[in-house]
Amino acid sequence: MVFNTGAALLDAVVLAVVSKEREGTYGYKITQDVRGVLEVSESTLYPGLRRLQMAYAGRNRRYYKLTDRGAAQLEFYKAEWKIYASKISGMFEGGIG
């Protein structure tokens, strides 16, 4: 993909993936789910997982589960994305003004 994926967008995507897993999920599965949609390296995703710090200790894996704060942040990202995507689509389809 030619478009740069910034930290906020990666955080939003990770939160979206984690929100689909009611019982929680682990880092490797999150990276595989994200990489199924976006071309990003694991080394790009793991800092986001650490930044979000949604983990609790598992035996051999760190599991991630959406918190209330994470759910609120995901809703914020969704609303912001709709505005952003609408503006960009408008520019592509109709130009400026």
Token pair of 39 as six digits? 């071309």
Residue 54 above 70 pLDDT? no
Are 52 and 14 contacting, i.e. CB atoms less than 8 angstroms apart? yes
Residue 58 above 80 pLDDT? no
pTM of structure: 0.77
Residue 95 above 90 pLDDT? no
Average confidence (pLDDT) over 17-33? 89
Strands 62-64, 55-57: pairing kind:
antiparallel
Residue 52 above 80 pLDDT? no
Residue 96 above 90 pLDDT? no
